[in-house]
Amino acid sequence: MERREFVASLVAGGCAGMCVDLTLFPLDTIKTRLQSQQGFYKAGGFRGIYAGVPSAAVGSFPNAAAFFVTYECTKSLLGAGGAVAAPHVAPVTHMLAASLGEIVACLIRVPTEVVKQRTQASPSSTTYHMLLATFREEGVRGLYRGFGSTVLRETLWSWRQGHTLYSWQAAVCGAFAGAVAAFVTTPLDVVKTRIMLAKAGSTTASGNIPVVLYDVWKSRGLTGLFAGSIPRMTFISVGGFIFLGAYEKVRRTLL
């Protein structure tokens, strides 16, 4: 990829990601409140549906950029020569590049996600006050609560989805595939939400994924494990079309 094309793709990806996050933010808020331990209505119901949006706006572009740069650079390095460059191992190259990309991106994504979700579940508070409260009570460590579950969720998602941008016709098929993948990974998303929203010092806050999964299963069964699956599936399916449209528009403008 030439430098100009690389920069255009980087900026277009960041802008498209921000466009999706801000346009479909209400769906994300509903999903978070459905997954919260306190329940949908106690977490705010349909009130303050844009609570936490500043955190999403600030983190969206750098998060997408961090993933894109890491993914493309890793893929280029792995494909530069040797056995890894062979066509039949391309899926392995993609998985390794995607995994590393998600780990790097999560260094930015997790702190913004923690603040965003806590504000979504407490709409009477503001993003700034929630950031200060988290930092004051738990320090930097609190901002990275749920890092492991987020990386696991995003990595599994990357492996299933791929990161090649397709035509509109293929995007229709991708929307269905994305909805299925979103549904399958919902329990991990529930775990991530529970860990991020848990009170400091609680068992859930420790971040033990199997323990949190079992706790949700024991208290709410399958309904709890797949809480928020419909808004999550809608977000990812519709978001795919918005992302592709915004990406192509920005990229064409820059090139």
Average pLDDT, integer, range 105-117: 94
Q: What is the domain range of residue 86?
A: 3-254
Check residue 139 and give its pLDDT.
92
Dihedral sign for Cα atoms in the order 228, 230, 236, 241: negative
Q: Are the beta carbons of 56 and 112 closer than 8 angstroms?
A: yes
User: What distances in angstroms separate CA 200 from CA 58, 119, 133, 203, one per listed residue?
Assistant: 25, 16, 12, 9
Instruction: Give me the chain's average pLDDT, please.
Output: 86
Look at the block and give the residue holding tokens 């030439």: 2
The one-letter amino acid code at 3 reads R
* Confidence tier at 64 by pLDDT (50, 70, 90): confident
Residue 169 has pLDDT above 60, yes or no: no
Predicted TM-score (pTM) of the model is 0.84
Task: Give residue 53's pLDDT band: very low, low, confident or very high (50, 70, 90).
Answer: very high
The DSSP secondary-structure symbol of 73 reads H
Amino acid identity, position 56: A
CB 9 within 8 A of CB 1: yes
Number of domains in the chain: 1
> Is the pLDDT score of 170 beyond 70?
no
> Quick one: pLDDT at residue 119?
96
The per-residue pLDDT for range 145-168, each reduced to its tens digit, is 999 888 888 777 666 555 554 455
Q: Domain containing 66 — which CATH number? A: 1.50.40.10
